[in-house]
Amino acid sequence: MSNEKIAVVGTNIAEKATMIWNVADMLRGPFKPHEYGLVILPMTVVKRFHDCLLPTHGAVLEQYEKVKNLAVIEGFLTRASGCQFYNISKFTFDTLLADPDNIEINFRDYLAGFSGNVQDVLSKFDFDSIIKRMVESNTLYLVIKEFNSPKGYLGPDKISAVDCGYIFEDLVRRFSESFGEEAGAHFTSRDIIYLMTDLLLTDAKLDDDSNITVYDMTMGTSQMLSCMEERIHELNEDITVTCFGQEFNPSTFAIAKADMMIRNGDPNNMRFGDTLSDDQFKGFTFKYCISNPPFGIDWKREQKSVEAEAALGELGRFAPGLPKISDGQQLFVLNGLSKLAPDGRMAIIQNGSPLFSGDAGSGPSNIRQYILENDWLDAIVQLSTDQFMNTGISTYIWVISKDKPAYRAGKVQLIDASHCYEQRRKSIGTKRNDITDLCRNLIVTAYGEFKNNAVYGDENGVYCESKIFDSEEFGYQKITVERPLRDENGEIVTKKGKPVADAALRDSENVPLKEDIDEYFRREVLPYAPDAWIDRSKTKIGYEIPMTRYFYRYQAPERSEDITKRLHILESEISQSLEQLFGEEN
């Protein structure tokens, strides 16, 4: 979908989401602003279910009367409803509103009529307690009436599954903002998602008889999954796509599961739980993984479970190493790797920390080593700052492939797309920049052509730059350089005929992995410290990816003459302003 089409759709969807959010006007007082979403999100889901089922409501009731005494009735009722869910209550929103005196008992009867998978969705919203509060504040009838207005219609004949996903995204964002949460924890904008999907699907072979599996380990409202499915079907509409996802936030999980049911997918593939400590897909592998996990967030809550699994070694997900307790994003990378099929590919968003944090031998470095020495890192794309609602920092898309084509084997492509964006007319939170169609095409072309030192676009405007490196380029050997301890007379202190190392003079050097340690030592150390030696027992292998250094461009400082000239102009302008000011006063 082009950004122009997204913009048109986005306008319509924003209007619909705004109308729904205006229900907050009647909640003001009984509910605090940060609680509005507790009413609006589940009511939106219920209304979407209601409008999807309305055309077949009579048929479902008729079928229920025929099979209600059978041991298993699910299949009969879902076939009658035409959906993955159904409702056997006699009520609709119209009949609920026709009996205002019994609105609570009738509404509860209506909710109880939903199939079990919908009941699971509603339980994640804790909707029962919200209904009680609406009854106590006399707002339940008013809310149902507002949602039943023509503007509140959410049937699939008017609002597609994709459009409904946009509405959910917008509502979750508004709820997160009013609640004071970091909305970006639940929200990745479509321009970034479509870039990720297009990178994953470059040169993809999608045969008609294929069953493509897609997994998002931190799915939020599942929009990455729906975008991936959309993109695959644009390439081949006959292909089967099966989506799987896990989410820890109850309300966003509920929306994701509801969205899957509405799209006639398998709701059992949407699973609730903490991915790090409660993996719901043990033993599963997937063709594609696409995720935006939280970064800069500690994993103290999951520490016991994660460390226990790390102790299992290759039988667990975290054998290569553990990152700092203050930032668990690399744990999600390891989880994704464990879930990739032998020909699987993953696109995952990270901040800058996984590129370089941690010295040789540390958990973060060992994780990089594990990925690079297995030749799984395909590419890293640096995005511009201000791309996300909740953070203005630079972010990176890591593309990981378990089965690189021969021409990419042993290589890693780095793409600097920090200049490849268009500034928004109106920011959303801290998101001030968009990846337009032009930007996405430049980045995907750079990735597909796989050229070294190639620039795509206008270097004075919107552009990205591609560089190709051997995987070994990022490795180094950290050597420990010792110097002898000397006594007060300057003589070397020995023990058993060997010099004693002076801890105060101990130093370390990082030797590129491609270099011979002894040659490096003779060239870089001995000329300045002839008595030094290497303690080889302490040598460690490390990996880092210093993208900023690789793409650094020297900018000459402004000439002193130009600075002086500019200062003279400023002084003249200030003098003129002062003369005008005091002249007017006189």
Q: Is the pLDDT confidence value at 1 over 70?
A: no
Q: Is the pLDDT confidence value at 372 over 60?
A: yes
Per-residue model confidence as pLDDT tens digits over 150-188: 888 999 888 887 788 778 777 776 776 655 444 445 468
Q: Report pLDDT for 584.
A: 59
Per-residue model confidence as pLDDT tens digits over 255-297: 899 888 888 788 899 999 999 999 999 999 999 999 999 888 8
Q: Is the pLDDT confidence value at 27 over 70?
A: yes
Q: Is the pLDDT confidence value at 373 over 80?
A: yes
- What is residue 454's DSSP assignment? E
Looking at per-residue confidence, does 563 or 408 come out higher? 408
Per-residue model confidence as pLDDT tens digits over 129-152: 899 999 999 999 999 999 999 888
Average pLDDT over residues 574-579: 81
Average pLDDT over residues 548-557: 83
In DSSP terms, 534 is beta-bridged to 481
Q: Is the pLDDT confidence value at 4 over 80?
A: no
Largest CA distance in the chain: 105
> Of the ranges 186-200, 221-235, 408-422, which is most confident?
408-422
Q: Is the pLDDT confidence value at 309 over 80?
A: yes
Per-residue model confidence as pLDDT tens digits over 207-236: 777 789 999 999 988 989 989 999 999 999
Question: Cα 196 vs. chain centroid, distance in angstroms?
Answer: 10
Q: Report pLDDT for 585.
A: 56
Q: Where are the domains of the chain?
A: 12-178, 182-473
- Beta pairing, strands 494-495 & 270-272: unpaired
Q: Report pLDDT for 18.
A: 79
pTM more than 0.75? yes
Cα 437 to Cα 424: distance, rounded to the nearest angstrom: 14
In DSSP terms, 416 is beta-bridged to 382, 465
SS3 481: strand
Average pLDDT over residues 532-536: 96
Average pLDDT over residues 527-535: 96
Cα 322 to Cα 306: distance, rounded to the nearest angstrom: 9
Cα 48 to Cα 367: distance, rounded to the nearest angstrom: 44
Average pLDDT over residues 88-105: 97
- Beta pairing, strands 377-382 & 411-416: parallel
Average pLDDT of the chain, as a whole number: 90
Cα 456 to Cα 442: distance, rounded to the nearest angstrom: 6
Cα 245 to Cα 291: distance, rounded to the nearest angstrom: 10
182-473 is classed CATH 3.90.25.10: no
Q: Report pLDDT for 386.
A: 83
Cα 502 to Cα 521: distance, rounded to the nearest angstrom: 19
Q: Report pLDDT for 7.
A: 43
Cα 384 to Cα 395: distance, rounded to the nearest angstrom: 7
Cα 98 to Cα 102: distance, rounded to the nearest angstrom: 9
Query: What sign does the dihedral 396-544-411-320 (CA atoms) show?
Result: negative
pLDDT over 90 percentage in the chain: 69
226 neighbors 260 (Cβ within 8 angstroms): no
Average pLDDT over residues 304-314: 96
Q: Is the pLDDT confidence value at 76 over 50?
A: yes
- Band (pLDDT 50/70/90 cuts) for residue 26 is confident
Q: Report pLDDT for 186.
A: 47
> Of the ranges 159-163, 518-522, 549-553, 576-580, which is most confident?
518-522
Q: Is the pLDDT confidence value at 2 over 70?
A: no
